[in-house]
Amino acid sequence: MAGDGVRQGAATPAVEASERTVQRLVARFGPEVEPLPTPFDVPVVKVRPGALREVAALLKEAGYAMLLDVGGVDYLGRRPPEERFEVVYHLLDVRGLRRIRLRVPVPEDRPEVPTLSDLWPSASWAEREVFDLFGIRFTGHPDLRRILMPDDWEGHPLRKDFPLRGSRQAGTPQALRQRFFPLRLDGPPGDAAPGSGGDAPAGRPGAGGEGGA
């Protein structure tokens, strides 16, 4: 608790400075930027996707030189559906200790926002992660591909309508065994196919190709 008191007292000028930044954004971009209530000492603003790059560029020019994080959120069932998803950006002014959080609504039927990876290179991998897990595309990204899931994975596992146990077919022991240790259809049960990487020693029928059995 004592630590909280010190943090709040020291942060007040920075918070006030961040709030002035929000006022500047509202004056400049009008309805494209909407301040949101928050219980935290970091101002939060909703930014329409069409204004994101201009807002981000202005903030960087104003001293928010560090992009701390990029995250995705799925508000399945939210109305209107144009705001089902959100991409959230956390920015920090290292010198002035100002912070600001941008929340960008993303429509369900066209989940895409412009990339910020050219403004902050640290956005590159974070945007790939959001794309991988939520299926939100970042237009203009130079290398938008999966970063956590296998390339042939179907779907985006952090969407709330993704099956809790994933694809049943892909997750069954039989499917996993066949994927990583394909079996010879013309051989005895458990015998790995030639060149599949199975570790059954030659001349040992039935030794199995299940990872060292």
- 8 A C-beta contact, residue 56 and residue 32: no
pTM comes to: 0.73
For the stretch 95-135, pLDDT in tens is 999 999 999 999 999 999 999 999 999 999 999 999 999 99
* Residue 65 phi, psi dihedral angles, 5° rounding: -85, -15
What is the pLDDT at residue 184?
Answer: 55
For the stretch 33-84, pLDDT in tens is 999 999 888 999 999 999 999 999 999 999 999 999 999 999 999 988 889 9
- Residue in 210, 213, 190, 191 with CA at minimum distance from that of residue 202: 191
